[in-house]
Amino acid sequence: MENESSEFYARQAVLPGVGLEGLAKLRARTIAVAGVGGVGSSAAYYLARSGVGRIRLVDQDIVEPSNLQRIHGASREDLFHPKADVLSRRLSDFGSWTGQFSYAVHSEQVCSSKSNAISIRERGL
């Protein structure tokens, strides 16, 4: 673990049941967040800050004025841009120690059913 990230995760590293081994396991994980509105953006924010290595953001929607108070880090400059792209940029601003954010999926690729969700997962989106 790099010096900067060891400082960032110092409090987690001393938790019983987490430690450096637990942090390494988190760093090796990939998690998908389907829907990055109010709840999804909060979940992605805390997953990123806890050390998950890769987060796949999936959403078909754009940021609208009524979303600004709910989406972590969204601002007026983000209006009418894809939510997943906006959140991906915001999470990346935390620094390299918080992981990678990818697969900002829009429109026809979005999960609308269980079978579609499985198809998206299998294609690596």
2 vs 80, residue with greater confidence: 80
Exposure pattern of 58-92 as b/e (b: 16+ CB <10 Å)?
bbbebbeeebeeebbebeeebeeebbbbbbbebbe
**Domains of the chain, residue spans:** 30-123
pLDDT of 75 over the 90 cut: yes
For residue 31, which amino acid is it? I
For every residue of 36-99, DSSP letters joined together read: -SHHHHHHHHHHHHHT-SEEEEE---B--GGGTTTSTT--GGGTTSBHHHHHHHHHHTT-GGG-
**What average pLDDT does range 66-71 have in this prediction?**
93
Q: Which residue has the higher pLDDT, 54 or 119?
A: 54
pLDDT, position 41: 94
User: What mean pLDDT is reported for the chain?
Assistant: 81
* pLDDT at position 50: 87
Q: Is the per-residue pLDDT at 121 higher than 90? A: no
What superfamily in CATH does domain 30-123 come from?
NAD(P)-binding Rossmann-like Domain (3.40.50.720)
